[in-house]
């Protein structure tokens, strides 16, 4: 089979299209069997990827929005996959059917689904079948061709659910911590400070071991050591260990030592001997292969998997990504052993020995079986010296030796144990004599079995022996060593972090992100950034670096794969949980700042002063300096308080201190910081706005970062123009552009109340807005959670997943006819008589697109009739039904006040 997008043609005489599925499943067909030409091509891992639409870019939405399942995802085929994509489309025009020969695990099923999608775009009626195999040996390929099936849709859904969860959670937290930390601290990288649902628990294990080392307090201890020599010719000294092991009190140890000296002789109180077996290993699965390669070969898990994949593709070993630790009863060991017996050297000799009577034993059955692949075994006998790549050669040797050990008998030995007493203290010695090495010979030089003392002499109980030596020794406890790769793999496997196929990738990721480093002994230490992130999230209470959340995700995906849950219900439930985690992270973000500040300087400490005593700090009431820093092509402005050692980022534009009518500093009533006025310049082209430096980065609860004063709902502040951020209904303009989650909310501006879309970003703002009558003294959205407003939901306009809330209009005294009373509660979408009387018009997409930006709305604040004075782009043909179905276009006209979202 040719790799990449080259093809090879061969003929198979036993396959008949289009009856291949029936043939493969044992259906007898009458008539001659036709021959067919098969075209073999390949893909390279996942053909497609998922991502958010452009409307949800880094600067275009609050990261929390990404955690809502209503935000759409796009399937993308990246540039490096385009040749493969085009190759598949071309072949789809030429063939009658397709057989998917992909890896037989969940990822293989998901990749098969991606291939199927591409093929059906060109050839919608194409029959597509699934071949299941674990090696590329001819007999197994033939067997797979005779038993074709279909893709396992449950496995496909499980992978898709996991990918969606990883994308949404990773993107939301990555954007949150990157934006927050990069604008405050001088970090070692100017790029993304990424979060991953698997990489953070992996990092957590490394940091946890580092913390144990850092907090370790050494202690002195004392112990006794006894050496005896049997009264025999050529007897060697035997070292006995104190049964108390050690004591942490020197005086107590000294008293016991002197009591032993007074006894002068040791009395044998027990002498036991018993057979001992060292079990041969169970068949090899991926995780165990990674651990053994790290321990025996000093090869990292990533290097191991690369070498194993190459050996698999060359037909030397079976599929290297498996959880199975047991062979099927029908597995034929003898033919494989006969092949391996031809290998020169000790591996061939071990295989020859197993072919002799009384040496072979069926391998043990391990606890795991993924029902997809057999254990990792050699498939072809080759001289290791003929494998050019050194790592591949050593991995092949490891796989062969492990298989030979599995087929061998257990090692047999005899363990002897002596216990002697001096005074009241007992000492113990253990010895081992290996009688039959068996599988240990096949696994040389990596596996050993010894206590270091060999077989102990036979001493009768009650006999007395004078010690060769009795010493009191001193020691000191030592901290644990840094986490080794073997230990890290074991922890990840035990806690369900990643799979056998992805563990190596996650370990590589924490190194690529510069969260941890690995030394030459394959031991891990966290970097300052890794420590700071884990400490920060730990201090918040939600321990995102702990394995619990990821373990739950993996368990839920297993239920999807088993058909016990749907992907939709799993994704919805887990996203709700992560939304709560995200809210907590935002509310407690100052704790993350504090943790990072212990390891890195703030931008304010290393940046250049532009103006001293610029504004007042809300914490200490001392002046803060205006500073700026240049990182690459990016210039950042900030306020820095030297007293508090705090730095507050500012948005683009020219900052000016805000003062009130009495020329006093304008103080934010929420946090006591002096407000800053942002004016045109330095990349900002708007009409200006006010920000509190503290609230800009630490918004009030319920609001997103980059918070401006006009969004504030505080009634004590004259700059506050916002209303509580309650969704009245979903925006129809955004829905028509594939963005169904954007909300239409009520807000108050200097020119009155307006119901408008929240999608307002630089260069891409939604024009949907409905200006409300100037006769309104106050407008509120009814809280449907309150018993008093149980009817606040519009039953006519609402539908599942798309609620429409009523609003309460309170009139200025004497501004409306008496029949309207002092207030009206209604739904502006379906109450046409109210809209007609108060001259409220719903926006029309055709009008929005037709108007030039400068003519969309007159600057006048008065109401009137006719086409020149209608609200929201005029009256007319935008009906409620069309709006809720999301039809219509979008434009970029200005709204009435020029400051709409």
Task: List residues with catalytic annotation.
Answer: 319
Q: Helix (H, G, I), strand (E, B), or coil: what is residue 339?
A: helix
Q: For strand 8-12 and strand 36-40, is the pairing parallel, antiparallel, or unpaired?
A: antiparallel
Q: Could you tell me which residues come within 8 angstroms of residue 86 by beta carbon, excluding any fewer than 6 positions away? A: none
How far is Cα 806 from Cα 829, in angstroms, rounded to an integer?
9
Strand partners, 624: 615
Query: Using an 8 Å Cβ cutoff, are 788 and 731 in contact?
Result: no
CB-facing half-sphere around the CA of 758: CA atoms within 13 A: 24
* Segment (H or E) for 250: helix 250-263
CA separation (Å) from 300 to 104, 176, 297, 337? 25, 32, 9, 29
Closest CA to 238 of 412, 417, 433: 417
How far is Cα 625 from Cα 604, in angstroms, rounded to an integer?
9
How does DSSP assign 385-419, residue by residue? Answer: GG--SHHHHHHHHHHHHHHHHHTSPPEEEEEEEEE
Q: Helix (H, G, I), strand (E, B), or coil: what is residue 884?
A: helix
How far is Cα 167 from Cα 66, in angstroms, rounded to an integer?
9
**What tokens appear for 708 in the block?**
């401006």
- The beta strand positions in 396-554, using DSSP E, are 411-422, 425-436, 464-465, 469-476, 483-484, 516-518, 523-526
How far is Cα 668 from Cα 690, in angstroms, rounded to an integer?
11
How far is Cα 549 from Cα 573, in angstroms, rounded to an integer?
12
DSSP 217: -
How far is Cα 493 from Cα 288, in angstroms, rounded to an integer?
10
φ and ψ at residue 436, rounded to 5 degrees: -135, 115
3-state percent helix, strand, coil for the chain, nearest multiple of 5: 35, 20, 45
How does DSSP assign 439-453, residue by residue? Answer: HHHHTTTT-----SS
DSSP 64: G
Q: Could you tell me which residues come within 8 angstroms of residue 343 by beta carbon, excluding any fewer than 6 positions away? A: 351, 381, 382, 383, 384, 400
Cα 230–chain centre separation: 61
Q: Helix (H, G, I), strand (E, B), or coil: what is residue 473?
A: strand
CA separation (Å) from 162 to 51, 155, 729? 14, 11, 30
Q: Could you tell me which residues come within 8 angstroms of residue 860 by beta carbon, excluding any fewer than 6 positions away? A: 869
Q: For strand 769-771 and strand 49-51, is the pairing parallel, antiparallel, or unpaired?
A: unpaired
Query: Using an 8 Å Cβ cutoff, are 806 and 792 in contact?
Result: yes
Cα 458–chain centre separation: 59
| Dihedral, CA of residue 199, residue 202, residue 208 and residue 210, to nearest 10 | -90
Q: Helix (H, G, I), strand (E, B), or coil: what is residue 208?
A: helix
Q: For strand 98-100 and strand 128-130, is the pairing parallel, antiparallel, or unpaired?
A: parallel
Q: Could you tell me which residues come within 8 angstroms of residue 225 by beta carbon, excluding any fewer than 6 positions away? A: 239, 240, 241, 242, 469, 470, 471, 473
How far is Cα 366 from Cα 393, in angstroms, rounded to an integer?
26
How far is Cα 849 from Cα 177, in angstroms, rounded to an integer?
38
Closest CA to 162 of 152, 154, 150: 154
């Amino acid at each position: 089979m040719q790799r990449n997008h080259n093809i090879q043609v061969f003929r198979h005489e036993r396959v008949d299209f289009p009856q291949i599925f029936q043939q493969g499943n044992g259906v007898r067909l009458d008539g001659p069997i036709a021959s067919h030409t098969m075209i073999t091509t390949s893909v390279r891992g996942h053909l497609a990827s998922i991502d958010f639409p452009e409307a949800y870019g880094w600067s275009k939405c609050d990261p929390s929005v990404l955690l809502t399942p209503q935000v759409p995802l796009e399937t993308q085929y990246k540039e490096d996959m385009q040749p493969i994509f085009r190759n598949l489309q071309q072949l789809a025009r030429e063939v009658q059917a397709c057989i998917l020969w992909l890896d037989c695990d969940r990822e293989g099923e998901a990749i098969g689904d991606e291939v199927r999608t591409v093929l059906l775009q060109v050839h919608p009626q194409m029959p597509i079948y699934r071949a299941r195999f674990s090696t590329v040996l001819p007999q197994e390929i033939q067997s797979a061709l005779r038993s074709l099936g279909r893709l396992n849709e449950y496995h496909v859904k499980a992978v898709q659910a996991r990918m969606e969860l990883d994308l949404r959670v990773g993107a939301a937290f990555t954007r949150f911590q990157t934006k927050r930390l990069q604008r405050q601290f001088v970090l070692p990288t100017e790029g993304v400070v990424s979060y991953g649902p698997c990489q953070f628990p992996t990092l957590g294990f490394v940091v946890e071991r580092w913390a144990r080392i850092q907090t370790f307090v050494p202690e002195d201890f004392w112990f006794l050591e006894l050496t005896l020599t049997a009264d025999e010719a050529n007897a060697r000294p035997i070292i006995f260990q104190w049964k108390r092991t050690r004591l942490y009190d020197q005086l107590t140890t000294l008293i016991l030592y002197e009591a032993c000296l007074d006894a002068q002789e040791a009395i044998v109180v027990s002498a036991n001997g018993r057979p001992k077996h060292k079990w041969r290993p169970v068949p090899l699965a991926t995780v165990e292969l990674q651990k053994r390669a790290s321990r025996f070969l000093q090869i990292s898990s990533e290097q191991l998997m690369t070498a194993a994949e190459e050996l698999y593709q060359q037909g030397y070993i079976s599929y290297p990504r498996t959880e199975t630790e047991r062979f099927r009863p029908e597995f034929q060991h003898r033919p494989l052993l006969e092949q391996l017996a031809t290998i020169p050297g000790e591996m061939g000799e071990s295989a020859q020995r197993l072919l002799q009577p009384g040496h072979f034993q069926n391998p043990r059955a391990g606890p795991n079986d993924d029902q997809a692949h057999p254990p990792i075994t050699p498939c072809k006998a080759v001289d290791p010296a003929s494998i050019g790549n050194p790592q591949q050669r050593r991995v092949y040797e490891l796989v062969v030796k492990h298989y030979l050990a599995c087929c061998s008998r257990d090692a047999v030995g005899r363990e002897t144990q002596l216990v002697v007493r001096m005074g009241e203290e007992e000492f113990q010695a253990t010895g081992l004599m290996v009688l039959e090495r068996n599988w240990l010979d096949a696994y040389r030089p990596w596996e050993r079995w010894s206590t270091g003392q060999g077989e102990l002499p036979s001493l009768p109980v009650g006999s007395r022996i004078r010690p060769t030596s009795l010493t009191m020794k001193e020691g000191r406890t030592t901290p644990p060593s840094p986490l080794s790769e073997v230990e890290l793999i074991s922890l990840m496997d035990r806690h369900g972090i990643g799979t056998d196929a992805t563990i190596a990738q996650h370990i590589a990721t924490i190194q690529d992100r510069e969260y941890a480093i690995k030394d030459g002994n394959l031991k891990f230490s966290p970097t300052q950034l890794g420590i700071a992130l884990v400490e920060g999230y730990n201090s918040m209470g939600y321990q995102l670096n702990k394995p619990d959340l990821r373990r739950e995700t993996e368990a839920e995906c297993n239920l999807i794969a088993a058909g016990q849950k749907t992907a939709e219900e799993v994704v919805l439930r887990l996203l709700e949980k992560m939304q709560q985690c995200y809210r907590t992270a935002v509310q407690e973000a100052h704790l993350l700042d504090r943790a990072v500040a212990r390891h890195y300087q703030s931008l304010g400490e290393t940046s250049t002063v532009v103006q001293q005593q610029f504004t007042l700090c809300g914490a200490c009431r001392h002046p803060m300096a205006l500073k700026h820093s240049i990182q690459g092509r990016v210039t950042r402005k900030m306020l820095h308080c030297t007293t508090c050692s705090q730095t507050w980022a500012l948005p683009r534009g020219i900052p000016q201190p805000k003062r009130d009518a009495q020329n006093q500093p304008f103080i934010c009533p929420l946090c006591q910081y002096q407000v800053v006025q942002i004016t045109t310049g330095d990349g900002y082209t708007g009409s200006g706005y006010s920000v509190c430096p503290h609230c800009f980065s630490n918004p009030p609860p319920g609001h997103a970062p980059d918070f401006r004063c006009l969004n504030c709902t505080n009634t004590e502040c004259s700059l506050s123009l916002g209303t509580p951020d309650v969704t009245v209904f979903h925006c129809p303009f955004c829905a028509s552009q594939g963005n169904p989650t954007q909300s239409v909310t009520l807000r108050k501006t200097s020119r009155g109340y307006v119901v408008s879309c929240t999608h307002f970003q630089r260069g891409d703002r939604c024009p949907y807005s409905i200006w409300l009558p100037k006769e309104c003294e106050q407008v509120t959205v009814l809280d449907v959670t309150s018993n008093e407003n149980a009817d606040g939901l519009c039953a006519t306009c609402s539908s599942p997943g798309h609620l429409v809330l009523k609003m309460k209009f309170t009139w200025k005294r004497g501004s409306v006819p008496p029949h309207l009373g002092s207030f009206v509660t209604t739904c502006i979408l379906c109450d046409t008589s109210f809209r007609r009387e108060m001259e409220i018009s719903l926006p029309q997409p055709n009008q929005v697109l037709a108007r030039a930006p400068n003519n969309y709305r007159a600057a006048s604040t008065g109401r009137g009739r006719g086409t020149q004075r209608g609200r929201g782009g005029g009256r007319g043909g935008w009906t409620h039904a069309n709006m809720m179905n999301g039809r219509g276009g979008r434009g970029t006209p200005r709204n009435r006040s020029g400051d709409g979202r």
